[in-house]
Structure 1
Amino acid sequence: MHGATAVVLGGSVAGLCSAGVLAPHFDRVVVLERDELPPGAEHRRGVPQSKHPHFVLNAGRRAIGTIFPGFEESLIEAGGLLLMPSMEAAYGENDGWGPRKSSTMTMIYSSRVLIERVLRDKVRTLAGVEIREGTAVSGLATTGGGTVTGRVTGVEYRDAGGETRTIEADLVVDALGRGSSVRDWLAAAGWPSVPEKTLDAKVTYTSRWYQLPAPSERPPGWWWKHLVLTPTQENGPHPQEHEYLSNFFPIEGDRAISCMGSWGLEMPRKPETFEAAADRLRAPTFAAAMRASTPVSEVHLTRSTGNKWRRYDEIDHPPLGLVSIGDAVCAFNPFYAQGMSSAARSAVVLSDVLSEYRSLDTSFTRDFLDRQRASLEVPWMLAMARDQGYDFAEGTEVAPAWRRKIMAKVSWPVFNAITAAAREDDYVEQTFTAVFNLDKSLRDMMTDPRFVSGLLRHKIREALGRTRVPAGFDIRSDPPGTDYSDPANPVEPAAATPRTATRRTRG
């Protein structure tokens, strides 16, 4: 688009990915970022969630790699860890520790701040892209608000010196996150209120960063790199900490983020209560790992976790010259690690549509919104499947009481059945991996005859005592390190060596 200018509101993951896809199509791309961006991997005010664990799902890895070739390699070179979770993570499940075995899924573990630093480095190499730091977006310039030709024509902002400025734009990308005011600015300019789907399951999570002990100082049972405890399914009295979803999450610099979260419970805010809560978790290994490590941060707590989907696609005449990416359009419960991947996928959708249209007209806008909706429906369905099961959830997507009761009763048992069957059925494992990584929808998985028959077959084998991979190891003991990749020939920890996963998931 010769001579055209695009303006991106926000310089976080969604904004950086957007800048990456805009650069080939616009002569000038301006990113307006409120913060002064650090040169390294450091926290900043505009991304408070960076203090909690983050990872990019495989669909997001591919999307970012499409936008920024070499992203994965750069992230690993900067300290990210390429791991196979089924081999290098210990999972505390309903009936105890799960078995260790190889699978098709890999992950790159790192902090959110490192991911953003690597992305910023990539963006700064792009011709025609300018990042203006210390700028506060204050409004939009528009014409014909709410009409068939209504368009966003520019952005108003205060620069680092406090002076109000306006920049004209052929396309504006809203990447301002959950707190974006774009919806309100559009309403003030004459557009109808953008419909919202919401569901807040009252998730609160709290995290603290730790420096790990040297490998030579770790106990023999510490073979794992990632430790996970899922919520209990006990019916009788038990400590509320058994309801937590907890992670001891490895990141660069031989550090880990200890994170505990819950649906509807108060979470610890202070170091002493944080450690005391860890002591009451189902697995003593978790607190032992924390105490063997050195805390290097305060305790960080987040409550802003509700699911929210702003349905620009449902407006009769959506504003031309504007698209929204990331949390600005669809924000998820962070427990499900869908945010960065969904933002990157939307950016790729934008890239595809830009490549197919010569003009930023109504057809361009409607096509983008339709394709983005299809992309977002996949993670949204996953988030609803879990969060609709809570009686205290609030929002437009609250399920009827009968449905909440069913979902609350079956969601974790179904998850347990899937993970158990996946250990012995490659098709189940590959299908679940695809859904977890946003490569396949939950609906497609649960209506797949081969997948469902695999679950049923495993339940029958389990009832008959004919499963090949043992499970349910004592949660009060250290997680077992035996490798059951070949159930007929398990490899004991003393003979095992750490595995290096392949660079990508198969398929």
Structure 2
Amino acid sequence: MPKIVIIGGGPIGLITGEILARDGHSVTILDRDAAEPRLDADSDWAAWERAGVSQFRQPHLIQPKWREVVDREIPGLTGALIDNGGWRLNLLHGTASDAGVREQADEWFDAIVVRRPVFEGVLSRFVQEHEGLRVRRGVRVTGLIAAPSSPGVPRVCGVHTSHGAITADLVVDAGGRRSSVPQWVGAISPIAPREFREDGGVIYYSRHYKLSSPFISNGLTDLVTQHETLSVLVLPGDNGTVGVALVTSARDRRLRGIRENVTWESLARRIPAAAPWLDSEPLTDVMPMAGIDHVQRSYMVDGKPTVSGLVAVGDAMVATNPTLGLGVTLGTLQACVLRDVIAGETEPDLSAAAERYSDTCEKKLKNHINMALSYDNHRRVEVGEEIAGAKYRPNGSGWPTTVALTNGARLDPLLRRAYVSMSTLFQESTDVLSAQAVQDTLSRYMTGPRYSIGALGRAEILEAVS
């Protein structure tokens, strides 16, 4: 039975471990944080501390695509989340009960809404019931064990840890966007891995509330809204909770004051999507989070591996702005690719899996990743221009089309379906936007105002925080 070591015990490390263990592999997950998950949702939220995870208590969205994949690959997991207070929210229709507007397959757009600590706690308890999987907490990985391999490419055959050496046929990096693995590879290989890193340029200012009435929304168009120099997330969670995040540019000094509860609430009460929930019981003070880099890594350089026996999944491979909520979904899709690649290997040590894995991920996931990175880059530059009092004038039609689709989705059912289909990875953006009916309808919004009705302008935002 091949031995696999996974660096990192967050959601992607756990999901990858479970998928591989179900395929007959012996999997050990190493997590540097010693704290164990608690016994239930309330104690996971209130008392579980994950010092190594900066976003642990930030608002959290899991795409419907994740639910679809997990229902197939890890039966019972979404049921366990619901048993612990998670619930299904349709991102196309929201909480609307009118069956007349729904098409036969619209249940595909059901997401499981749950807070990150509860999600990870349920997941941790669920996967540890599998015989072929072991989670070791409080074990810090300090380097890679390497052996010479033909034709001169070092073969990773285990890891050095704070508790001694652990050998493996394959090492999987699920250590997140700040993973140290690229530096360790550089220490053993003459070819440095390829890494692109760029400051995401945003700060999240978030609070959670215990709702006094059921959560109601129109779906994704209410959960993520844009305003001049500001983006807003209103993300429901398990057990009658909601998280609200005000997302600003890291360079916007005039909005730094919203780290204070009173100033944050003064602004949030002017936001139509957020205001209805602010009279509920606050569960947290404002929680700032910055330093969210965009990261793309590859251990293939010019078609050649830098090492063998090592792959990366989740944010350790590609990390985008969390606003789009794609991280867990993309990481889970990568885990499925890895499982399939390994199943096709003839060598018991799995050392050659990295090359096929990288190629397959490139083919299957490139368009989704490029969509997310393009959105992030345009929005970052646009906000910077708005702070300076200028209007963003991008080259090409890509960003104006995205803006028109986002605004039109709030008013037109056809564009709403197109927008949600793209955003939730149900369809490729090229397939959605090439449809003639979408093009014809979208043209009506191409010359409209930048922001939807009800969006705040810069002057109103500054007035609220003054």
Instruction: Give the TM-score taking structure 1 as reference length.
Output: 0.75
| Residue from 289, 292, 295 that aligns with 2:282 | 295
2:178 corresponds to which residue? 179
| Residue from 246, 259, 272 that aligns with 2:232 | 246
Please say if residues 86 and 102 of structure 1, whose CA atoms lie closer than 8 Å, have aligned partners that are also in contact: no
2:333 corresponds to which residue? 345
Q: CA RMSD in A?
A: 3.2
1:454 corresponds to which residue? 438
Distance 2:218 2:209 in 1: 13
| Structure 1 position 358 matched with structure 2 position 346 | yes
2:243 corresponds to which residue? 257
Please say if residues 21 and 27 of structure 2, whose CA atoms lie closer than 8 Å, have aligned partners that are also in contact: yes
1:26 is displaced (CA, Å) by 5.2
1:486 corresponds to which residue? none
Counterpart of 1:142 in 2: which secondary structure?
Answer: strand
Please say if residues 381 and 442 of structure 1, whose CA atoms lie closer than 8 Å, have aligned partners that are also in contact: no
Distance 2:19 2:411 in 1: 40
| Structure 1 position 304 matched with structure 2 position 302 | no
Residues 1:27 and 1:414: Cα distance change in structure 2 (over 3 Å): closer
| Structure 1 position 130 matched with structure 2 position 119 | no
Distance 2:237 2:27 in 1: 32
User: What is the one-letter code of the residue matched to 2:169?
Assistant: D
Matches within 5 A, 1:181-330: 181-214=180-213, 223-224=216-217, 227-228=222-223, 230-232=225-227, 242-264=228-250, 265=252, 266-267=255-256, 268-279=258-269, 281-283=270-272, 286-290=274-278, 292-314=279-301, 316-330=304-318
Please say if residues 224 and 234 of structure 2, whose CA atoms lie closer than 8 Å, have aligned partners that are also in contact: no
Please say if residues 378 and 440 of structure 1, whose CA atoms lie closer than 8 Å, have aligned partners that are also in contact: no
Counterpart of 1:55 in 2: which secondary structure?
Answer: coil
Residues 1:307 and 1:461: Cα distance change in structure 2 (over 3 Å): closer
Distance 1:263 1:9 in 2: 32
Matches within 5 A, 1:113-192: 113-144=117-148, 147-159=151-163, 165-192=164-191
Matches within 5 A, 1:12-161: 12-25=10-23, 28-35=26-33, 36-39=35-38, 40=40, 41-42=44-45, 43-88=49-94, 102=102, 104=106, 105-144=109-148, 147-159=151-163
Distance 2:249 2:22 in 1: 43
Deviations 1:360-381 (A, max 9, x none): 4565321111112223313311
1:385 is displaced (CA, Å) by 2.5
Counterpart of 1:249 in 2: which secondary structure?
Answer: strand
2:374 corresponds to which residue? 385
1:429 is displaced (CA, Å) by 5.3
User: What is the one-letter code of the residue matched to 2:189?
Assistant: G
**Percent of aligned pairs sharing the same letter:** 24
1:313 is displaced (CA, Å) by 3.3
Unmatched 5+ residue regions in structure 1? 91-99, 160-164, 216-221, 233-241, 395-400, 464-471, 477-507
Counterpart of 1:135 in 2: which secondary structure?
Answer: coil
User: What is the one-letter code of the residue matched to 2:289?
Assistant: T
| Residue from 395, 406, 416 that aligns with 1:415 | 406
1:47 is displaced (CA, Å) by 2.1
User: What is the one-letter code of the residue matched to 2:75?
Assistant: P
Instruction: Give the TM-score taking structure 2 as reference length.
Output: 0.81
Distance 2:204 2:145 in 1: 38
2:430 corresponds to which residue? 443
1:354 is displaced (CA, Å) by 1.7
1:440 is displaced (CA, Å) by 2.9
User: What is the one-letter code of the residue matched to 2:404?
Assistant: P
Please say if residues 157 and 168 of structure 2, whose CA atoms lie closer than 8 Å, have aligned partners that are also in contact: yes
Unmatched 5+ residue regions in structure 2? 385-391, 457-466
How many residues are aligned here?
421
Please say if residues 313 and 370 of structure 1, whose CA atoms lie closer than 8 Å, have aligned partners that are also in contact: no
Distance 1:335 1:223 in 2: 20
User: What is the one-letter code of the residue matched to 2:237?
Assistant: I
Deviations 1:112-132 (A, max 9, x none): 112212221221111132111
Return the structure number with greater relative CO, CA threshold 8 A, min gap 6: 1
Over alpha carbons, which structure has the higher Rg? 1
User: What is the one-letter code of the residue matched to 1:118?
Assistant: V
